[in-house]
Amino acid sequence: MTAAGARVATASAVLEVENLKTWFRVRSGLSKAVDGVSFAVHPGESYALVGESGCGKSVTALSIMGLVPQPAGFVAGGSIALEGRGLLTLSEAERRPLRGARMAMIFQEPMTSLNPVLTAGAQLVESLALHRGLTGAAATAEAVALFGRVRLPDPARAFDAWPHELSGGQRQRVMIAIALACRPALLIADEPTTALDVTVQDQILELIDDLRRDTGMAVLLITHNLGLVRQTATRVGVMYAGKLVEEAATASIFRDPRHPYTVKLLESVPTAHRRHRALAAIPGFVPDASAYPDGCRFAPRCHRAFSVCPLVVPRNLAAAPKHRVECHLYDPEFQARALPPPVEIAEAPAAAAPQGTAESLLLARGVEVHFPVTAGVLRRVVARVKAVDGVDLVVPRGVSVALVGESGCGKTTLGKALLQLIRPTAGSVAFQGTELTALRGRDLKPFRRRMQIVFQDPYGSLNPRLTVGEIVTEGLRAHGREDSSAVDVGELLKTVGLDASAASRYPHEFSGGQRQRIGIARALAVRPDFLVCDEATSALDVSVQAQILNLLRDLGKRLGLTYLFITHDLGLVEYLADLVSVMYLGRVVESGTVEEVFGAPKHPYTQALLAAVPRVDATGRKRILLGGDVPSPVHPPAGCHFHPRCPEVMPQCRESYPPETPLSTSRCVRCFLYHS
């Protein structure tokens, strides 16, 4: 490879990208989103592109698919070849048949990628008809079968469902089914599992891996989940500021990362051994693509930078066999110069686990949320969706509590019920001794400020007609604090990893991760006591996630904030939470301190969840693949709701629901294995 990063063409490669440059015309000039990137993906290989938001990963994928927004965006140079055929010389009419048939893409945001006026089945049938010539009953049968393969519960019902009737994880599975429908030679997966819980993620990755092995399909994986990369990728390319700064086999990247940027990315991942310690967040931001610095683009943020780095562009060099890196640290011309030692982050001693005697900020008892199912002309109630079905939850003041479980288990519904955004059907929710379910209107409003939520979907939760500054101060105005100077918007935006100038821009001008940071800033603006984070970091790359987790951790200590994390990221729970409750089909099946539950999980469901977590340290438990999906909450199974999927099922599990069995002063489990 030359200094410019060029590579010799390989006939066997499914995809070859050489010196690709994709630029955008913006007010300030040219935004060089992708600025000279070269890599190849071979049959049966999974190649992962990793890096922070704004580094050019998704634009690289859009360039390959020929979907760069025009006329602002254009390919300024380089070449892209699919199975030896140059794509950039093809007309749109010539390229269109290749999409779906020979190359397909799973997009990051399924709600904005699916057509809201077509059912999920109709959108899949459309692809089958166009590329495989299937119509009528044959197309319907194939579509239902594909929905079954991606583990959609009740595939026949999903076929007739509209996108808005499906959960985020279910919509993502519809997108995956559409992408895999024609068994393409190249599958581009842009954050394919962001909206999925760990068990479904495990199933989907197994499906993609099976197709990759059986058909020789090449996979280009774009993700910020480094544990997933370690588990599934063959090779890794690390992108920063439009360039590929490191490339090597996956094992080499994780065992011996060379570029300082890669080192810090890996150190940013929350893990159990970093628990209660600050993560190695990378200072500053990815530079604007229209104003890259001279020399090494990472130099302003680099803990290993020396005098030449801001002045001279680094060459692409071999740091080890089949391990290339763009860094002056490995250039013989500069190795003789004095290099500063690495800057290690100071680690505070681990905090002690919370005690059960702590004062309760929020106390929920027997909470139920049942939604009516109506039918017929008169819309009579024929059944009820038991989304939350008798949950007890204690949230001590100043403690971080996590709710985990698969999609459809009732986690988000319970979170909204605690905040009274959804009124519980039954049960009690007390906040500092005040029963919230008895309050209405003005009486409830003072508690709204003290309890805030960061929603999972940052695009749907931000008003597109307001600027970011107006969004952040919206809560202040809603609570009668017209003096917006009560909060420094610019400083708050900086705190969550955004430039102060973002205050004058609109939500559509930001990436998904950046929009999530705006949502966090809005929630923090009113200085709440209790903050519910519903998948608040799922859209963030690891370095920004580290900044946000450090922020939440520091605010919790400094302001005495209490958190409820609703998440499927069990690595985050291990790192940040103190207490954890595991939900399954509307009920809590195991709860306790994180050390207790994660150290020795008791319930078979908890064991399966933890076994499915992809880990950067490659120390995961024995893999446990659960069969099927979460049953319908309209007609839950008799007895223990988990027994149809449980590897430890006993006759009594089918007959009655197990009672709560205390295992310690802070730990309980609902399983007949521990009930005498």
Apex CA 220: angle with CA 216 and CA 225, to 5°? Answer: 125
Using pLDDT thresholds of 50, 70 and 90, give the confidence band for residue 481: low
SS3 522: helix
Residues 88, 560: Cα–Cα separation, whole Å: 56
Report the half-sphere exposure of 453 (CA within 13 A, side-chain side): 22
Please enumerate, as own/partner, the contacts of 430-435 that have beta carbons within 8 Å and a separation of 24 or more: 430/362, 430/363, 430/364, 431/361, 431/362, 431/530, 432/361, 432/362
User: Comparing 15-233 with 360-674, is the CATH topology the same?
Assistant: yes
Q: Please report, for the chain, the start and end positions of each structural domain, with discontinuous segments joined by +.
A: 15-233, 360-674
Instruction: Report, as an integer, the average pLDDT of 258-277.
Output: 87
- pLDDT tens string 12-49: 899 999 999 999 998 888 999 999 999 999 999 999 99
d(CA 77, CA 54): 20
pLDDT per position as a tens digit, 579-632: 999 999 999 999 999 999 999 999 999 998 888 877 776 554 566 667 666 788
- CA separation for the pair 165, 175 (Å, rounded): 15
Q: Which residue has the higher pLDDT, 236 or 481?
A: 236
Q: 232 by DSSP, 3-state: which? A: helix
Task: Report the pLDDT value the prediction gives residue 257, as an integer from 0 to 100.
Answer: 95
d(Cα 672, Cα 669) in Å, to the nearest integer? 9
Q: What is the pLDDT of residues 205-221, one digit of tens each?
A: 887 888 888 888 999 99
> What is the pLDDT at residue 357?
41
Bridge partners of residue 373, in order along the sequence: 383
Lowest mean pLDDT among 381-390, 508-517, 657-666: 508-517
* 379-423 confidence digits (pLDDT tens): 888 889 999 999 999 999 989 999 998 877 899 999 999 999 999
pLDDT score of 349 more than 80:
no
- Bridge pairing between strands 243-249 and 451-454: unpaired
Rounded to an integer, what distance in angstroms lies between the CA atom of residue 603 and that of residue 621? 15
Please give the C-alpha separations between residue 457 and each of 110, 148, 512, in angstroms, as whole numbers: 11, 26, 9
Strand pairing category for 380-396 and 360-375 = antiparallel
- Listed range (362-376, 427-441, 493-507, 616-630) with the worst mean pLDDT: 616-630
Report residue 580: phi and psi, to 5°: -140, 140
104-113, 241-250, 341-350, 358-367 — which is least confidently predicted?
Answer: 341-350
Q: Is residue 138 pLDDT above 60, yes or no?
A: yes
Is the model more confident about 79 or about 272?
Answer: 79
- pLDDT score for 625: 64
pLDDT at 359 over 80: no
pLDDT given for residue 170 in this prediction: 81
Secondary-structure percent of the chain, ordered helix, strand, coil, rounded to 5: 35, 25, 45
pLDDT band at 556 (very low <50, low <70, confident <90, very high): confident
Torsion of CA 418, 421, 425, 426, to 10 degrees: 30
12-16, 94-98, 109-113, 380-384: the lowest-pLDDT one:
109-113
Q: Which residues contact 651 (CB under 8 A, 6 or more apart)?
A: none
Q: Which residue has the tokens 């060459």?
A: 315
pLDDT higher than threshold 90 for residue 458: no
| Distance, CA of 55 to CA of 36 (rounded, Å) | 12
Written as six digits, the tokens of 319 are 């740091």
99 pLDDT exceeds 60? yes
| pTM, rounded to two decimals | 0.79
Among 102-106, 179-183, 260-264, 548-552, the range scoring the smallest mean pLDDT is 548-552
Q: Is residue 49 within 8 Å of 239, Cβ to Cβ?
A: yes
The pLDDT score that the predictor gives to residue 587 is 96
What is the maximum span of the chain, computed from C-alpha positions, in angstroms? Answer: 83
Distance CA 72, CA 277 (A): 44
Provide mean pLDDT across the span 333-344.
58
Mean pLDDT of 344-348: 45
For residue 474, pLDDT beyond 80: yes
pLDDT at residue 353, as a whole number: 42
Is 15-233 a domain of CATH 3.40.50.300? yes
- Distance from C-alpha of 49 to C-alpha of 42, rounded to nearest angstrom: 15
CB 240 within 8 A of CB 286: yes
Q: Percent of the chain having pLDDT more than 70?
A: 90
Q: Would the pLDDT of 351 be above 50?
A: no
Question: Which among 440, 482, 477, 475 is positioned nearest to 461, based on CA atoms?
Answer: 475
CB atoms within 10 A of CB 334: 18
Mean pLDDT of the chain: 86
At residue 9, does pLDDT exceed 50?
no
The residue-averaged pLDDT of 68-97 equals 93
Confidence of residue 6 (pLDDT cuts 50, 70, 90): very low
If one looks up domain 360-674 in CATH, what number appears? Answer: 3.40.50.300
Alpha helices, DSSP H, located in 313-357: none
Q: For position 482, what pLDDT does the model report?
A: 54
Model pLDDT for residues 159-202, shown as the tens digit of each residue: 999 988 887 678 888 988 998 888 899 999 988 876 667 777 77
